[in-house]
Amino acid sequence: MDIEGHRDHLAARIRLGMVGGGQDAFIGAVHRIAARLDDAYVLVAGALSSTPERARRSGHDLGLAEDRIYADFAEMAEREAARPDGIEAVAIVTPNHLHADIAVAFLARGIHVICDKPLAASLAEGRRIADAVADSGRVFALTHTYAGYPMVRHARQLVADGSLGRIRVVRADYAQDWLAEPLETSGHKQAGWRTDPARAGSGGSIGDIGTHAFHLVRFVSGLRVTALAADLASFVEGRRVDDNAHVLLRLEDGARGVLTASQVAVGNENSLRLEVYGTKGGLTWQQEDPNRLVFTPLGEPARILTRNGAGGVAAAQRLTRVPAGHPEGYLEAFANLYGEAAVAIRAARGGPSPDPASCFPTVDDGLEGLAFIEACVASSRRDAGWVSL
């Protein structure tokens, strides 16, 4: 809730625009939810697609005002910069090869940028962005999501405060299986651009997910990679980029590492794992079990550290919203009930009927629950005698 604490009043919400993220896109919706979660942003403008008709429809879906729906990011940058109520920040959620032009256009007009990863399709384009950031003095945030997990912050803190001693070995593995077959030849939009060097850049799995693993190594260990030796492979016939990567790492201060990325590892959904070993301790974290971090001080039993649990550190706790033991998806579960209720409420307005699968708890469930509580109390008072409901 800390983050909520930073907001004083609604007027303080940041006016946000978005480039990309129209209908059929994936990561755009994730950015919008993230922006809404703590009520720190309000989406007011968008160039959600370069196809005018799709841009328009996508903008309507999101409730944007007619005059703030754009098909062209350059026009959007120009017009928004000119409005007194223009956007203060823009989220860039297009394929990688477009990041540089877009980022530069908005930064040049003094607009802060939140950009999906990787930074760009090439290092050269990335440098253009970096220059524009430097010239503009604007905020530039790159969404390496995993850096946002509280237990990743806890891990980083353990390294930073010396709990692991000098780091010797770092290992990061990111395994998926969604590209185990040639999905890109079947018209799958995500697979299409992510395996196209012209849009994704030269890296396939190494760019799409290896770069996440790489950032995690940097972020938690605090060490720079000084040299690497990489064995990339394309297992799916006809694929134009790597779909599997095995990389040896050498890091500052003599540490060694291995980083792997695979999009053909059948049975893995988003299995990102990090292991860091130092002279005084070791830690492991897995994205699919994000609320726990296992930390072992040398010569002692392993400790299971949890989000907001005993042994917590401020660096992690400031980023949590729910108590220990509630997985962070607790909020989504909660939101699902609000969502189903919203549909029912709109139906009462005359809107469409709820999905037959809708089944949020209602007053009847509440009555049953109360009858249950009272029956338990009554039974217990009678020494666990049976009570009918």
- Show the site string, 205-234: x = touches its own copies by CB under 8 A, - = not: -xx--xx--xx--xx----xxxxxxxxxx-
Residues in 322-351 that interact with its own copies by CB under 8 A: 322-346, 348-349, 351
Per-residue b/e over 189-203, b at no fewer than 16 CB within 10 Å? ebbbbbbbeeebbeb
How far apart are alpha carbons 272 and 99 in whole angstroms?
25
Report in angstroms how near the CB of residue 163 gets to its own copies at its nearest: 11
143 is a site residue for its own copies (CB under 8 A): yes
How far apart are alpha carbons 292 and 282 in whole angstroms?
14
Q: Which run of H or E residues covers position 201? A: none
196 is a site residue for its own copies (CB under 8 A): no
Residues in 297-326 that interact with its own copies by CB under 8 A: 297-306, 309-311, 314-315, 318-319, 321-326
Report in angstroms how near the CB of residue 79 gets to its own copies at its nearest: 20
283 is a site residue for its own copies (CB under 8 A): yes
252 is a site residue for its own copies (CB under 8 A): no
198 is a site residue for its own copies (CB under 8 A): no
Residues in 40-79 that interact with its own copies by CB under 8 A: 40-41, 60-63
Sorted by sequence, the CB contacts under 8 Å of residue 251 that are 6+ apart come out as: 167, 170, 217, 221, 223, 224, 225, 226, 257
Largest CA distance in the chain: 78
Report in angstroms how near the CB of residue 137 gets to its own copies at its nearest: 8
- Cα 188 to chain centroid distance, Å, stands at 22
Report in angstroms how near the CB of residue 20 gets to its own copies at its nearest: 16
Q: Cis ω on the peptide bond leading into residue 118 (within 30° of 0)? A: yes
Report in angstroms how near the CB of residue 199 gets to its own copies at its nearest: 14
The DSSP code for 132 is H
Residues in 22-41 that interact with its own copies by CB under 8 A: 26, 29-41
